[in-house]
Structure 1
Amino acid sequence: MNDLLPHGLDDFLAEAGWTGAVVEPLVGDASFRRYFRLRAADGSTAMLMDAPPPQEDPRPFLHVAGWLAEHGMRAPRILAARPDQGLVLLEDFGDARMRDWLDDHGGHEQAVYAAAIDALVALHAQPAGPFAPYDMAVYQREAGLFTEWYCPAMGLSVDEDGWRTAWDAVLHPLLPRQTDPVTVLRDYHAENIMLLDPAGPDGGAQGVIDFQDALVGHRAYDLVSLLQDARRDVPVELESAMLDRYCAATGAGDDFRADYARLGAQRNAKIVGIFARLWKRDGKARYLAFIPRVWDALERDLQHPALAPVAAWFAANVPQEIRDTQGGELQ
């Protein structure tokens, strides 16, 4: 076990006041980060993030966590940090992840999602954070993951210039609506929302994790992350009801709904590319099982008139048999 622990951990824990704590490894995510739960003799717990350089840098996480805490979003408190070593000691939010909890408490789904929507409404009422812009260059770079990784994995030779041109046409209309931007967490979904008081009504208060890639951009993006979740089935009726809830609270209209479809298609195309990359480059085949769910949401987004140029590209470049099998079998 000691061989698996981060280098310099004993000194770090001693400085943080956690000498002698039991260190339990936890399941990691799609990055190089690792997580451990610490258990002290008095029963208190904390979370240890190991974000080893040069592959990882915890400074963005610390930066965003501090801003969120100052602006009403429930992020884990930072108990200690050595960024140069990639070590961060965090408040323990427990094990009640929204996705897993709802698997066992499906009757609370409407209320739990409503609380997550209301948290976004509150976040979007705040001034945008001091983060980089979610601009066209970022949108295009992300969408490009589809043609860079998924298409070759499927043995497809596609029109990459036409892909970029189609996305320019689809995304340019939403850019003026980013002139009053909000903080975009980018991975706001049921695996990254923790229920802090699961014994409370409808799962109690919620906290967020995995927000280190936050940018400043469009209000619809995090709604897409939540309601077109790659890792959990969200009924279409629930998606529609929660989108209505957000629009009613913010006064968003038809342009917003069109932008929701635009960013839904962009995000879902990106995720399909990322999951293909995780398999081909990183040997993480388990993410392939999520592609049919993402592909299904992508197809629904493509039906919106705002996606006509991208829908035409798919019709010309991705054979119907692949689309009919919700993304097909990767090679």
Structure 2
Amino acid sequence: MSDRSFEGFLRDAGWADAERFPLTGDASTRRYIRLRRGDQTALLMDQPQGAEAPTAPANATPEERKALGYNAVARLAGADCGRFVAASNYLHGLGLSAPEIYAADAPNGYVLMEDLGADLFTDSLAKGVSERQLYKGAAEVLATIHAETAPAVLPPDKPLHAYDETALMAEVDLLTEWFFPVGLGRTATADEVSEFHGLWREALAPVLHTRPVFVHRDYHAQNLMWMPGRTGAARVGLIDFQDGVAGSPAYDMISLVEDARRDVSPETGRLTLSHYLNKMRDQGTPVYEAAFALEMALYAAQRNTKIVGIFARLFRRDGKARYLDLLPRVWSYLNNDLAHPALSGLKSWYDRVIPFAARGVPNIGSKR
């Protein structure tokens, strides 16, 4: 991607003369630049094309999936910033504070968008904003999204991929592929992986056919902005939703209250869930609470299994040792998640195969 195409995009969008302030990034190939022109600001996304594999089609063969790799099979957006644009259009259309798209050149990986500011939930909490207030706002966003069945296509033309068994299984496989070498000092055996797969498929089967909604997929305090100048659910700004899929409404709730990067108080977690359920009832889309509790337990265990694997991968493959310090929190969630009766078979596998002493930083700290 040449500098001329970069400069040309900004020129065509009318922002070539703006001051540029690069923002720090971490776990993706995208970079963001805040643009300032007088008292106006905007945000530029620069996504290098070809940096990540495309999404695997739903009908891809096992051989094709293996060739494309994890990102593709897990239905991640990869370098397709058009998925960000489409998801933002969809969420913006629901009246939510996803960034307005000012200009986009998806083939070259550029998006110019509304700047939602810098007040992430984590920053707002540090400034003394009430945790309960923030999380009630986040619950209202979920209720707004979940009032609608997930569309097949996001505007103008991006299919919304299903969060299906293939994607969910690719995610839990991160545990055996990446955590085992880090936490146990060995690879998983073929028998261990085979049993693991069977138990997960059995556990997930009852929740794969619920009414699908748009799932943000990484809905937590570092991807949510506090915008108190707006009203209702629009007080919460949304970012980093390009990997959105059609799946269970329980997934984003778990992502919110079992945050891998910060402790959410149990009382806030209960109030957030209660507020969500009340909003869903009041808007005429009530939730059957017993079924929802089961979905939360299953997706909590699935998500935290994935995160353990991702954090181990970020350490082992990418040299980002700081992610090891987050593992005790995630393992604490996962240990609690596995206590649900519907997960008894999986709990037995985890307890037999992964000793409690390996579920955190102390035993793997020497490998930094």
Settle same-fold status: TM greater than 0.5: yes
Counterparts of 2:289 and 2:262, CA distance in 1: 27
Q: 2:131 aligns with which of 94, 109, 112?
A: 109
Counterparts of 1:126 and 1:261, CA distance in 2: 23
1:140 aligns with 2:140: no
Which residue pairs with 1:301 in the alignment?
337
Q: 2:148 aligns with which of 107, 121, 126?
A: 126
With over 3 angstroms needed to count, the CA separation of the structure-2 counterparts of 1:6 and 1:327, relative to structure 1, is farther
Which residue pairs with 1:170 in the alignment?
203
Which residue pairs with 2:364 in the alignment?
329
Shift of 1:124: 0.4
Q: 1:310 aligns with which of 346, 355, 360?
A: 346
- Determine if contact 2:95/2:234 at 8 Å carries over to the other structure: no
Q: 1:71 aligns with which of 65, 89, 94?
A: 94
Counterparts of 1:242 and 1:252, CA distance in 2: 17
Letter in 2 for 1:133: A
Q: 1:26 aligns with which of 23, 33, 39?
A: 23
Letter in 1 for 2:364: E
Query: Structure 1 residues 82-91 or 278-287, which shifts more?
Result: 278-287
After TM superposition, the structure 1 = structure 2 runs for residues 134-213 of structure 1, keeping only pairs within 5 Å, are 134-154=163-183, 155-158=185-188, 159-176=192-209, 178=210, 180-197=211-228, 205-213=235-243
With over 3 angstroms needed to count, the CA separation of the structure-2 counterparts of 1:223 and 1:205, relative to structure 1, is same
Which residue pairs with 2:157 in the alignment?
none
With over 3 angstroms needed to count, the CA separation of the structure-2 counterparts of 1:137 and 1:183, relative to structure 1, is same
Match of 2:107, SS state, is helix
Shift of 1:104: 2.2
1:49 aligns with 2:45: yes
Counterparts of 2:317 and 2:356, CA distance in 1: 27
RMSD: 2.1
Which residue pairs with 2:258 in the alignment?
228
After TM superposition, the structure 1 = structure 2 runs for residues 281-296 of structure 1, keeping only pairs within 5 Å, are 281-296=317-332
Query: Structure 1 residues 240-249 or 86-95, which shifts more?
Result: 240-249
Counterparts of 2:262 and 2:232, CA distance in 1: 18
Counterparts of 1:203 and 1:122, CA distance in 2: 8
Which residue pairs with 1:39 in the alignment?
36
Query: Structure 1 residues 73-82 or 241-250, which shifts more?
Result: 241-250
Gaps in structure 2 of 5+ consecutive residues? 52-78, 154-159, 281-285
With over 3 angstroms needed to count, the CA separation of the structure-2 counterparts of 1:202 and 1:81, relative to structure 1, is closer
Q: Deviations over 1:65-89 (max 9, x none)?
A: 1121222332101111111221111
Query: Structure 1 residues 214-223 or 246-255, which shifts more?
Result: 246-255
Shift of 1:296: 1.1
1:271 aligns with 2:307: yes
Which residue pairs with 2:156 in the alignment?
none
Counterparts of 2:110 and 2:234, CA distance in 1: 30
Letter in 1 for 2:292: F
- Determine if contact 2:97/2:234 at 8 Å carries over to the other structure: no
Match of 1:232, SS state, is coil
Identity %, equivalent residues: 40
Structure-1-length-normalised TM-score: 0.91
Counterparts of 1:128 and 1:75, CA distance in 2: 17
With over 3 angstroms needed to count, the CA separation of the structure-2 counterparts of 1:99 and 1:11, relative to structure 1, is same
With over 3 angstroms needed to count, the CA separation of the structure-2 counterparts of 1:202 and 1:322, relative to structure 1, is farther
Greater than 4 Å deviation, 4+ residue runs: 199-204, 325-328
Counterparts of 1:39 and 1:274, CA distance in 2: 35
Counterparts of 1:57 and 1:283, CA distance in 2: 26
Structure-2-length-normalised TM-score: 0.82
With over 3 angstroms needed to count, the CA separation of the structure-2 counterparts of 1:257 and 1:6, relative to structure 1, is farther
Gaps in structure 1 of 5+ consecutive residues? none
Shift of 1:15: 0.7
Counterparts of 1:7 and 1:217, CA distance in 2: 40
Match of 1:19, SS state, is coil
With over 3 angstroms needed to count, the CA separation of the structure-2 counterparts of 1:38 and 1:294, relative to structure 1, is same
Match of 2:291, SS state, is helix
Counterparts of 1:111 and 1:48, CA distance in 2: 30
With over 3 angstroms needed to count, the CA separation of the structure-2 counterparts of 1:16 and 1:204, relative to structure 1, is closer
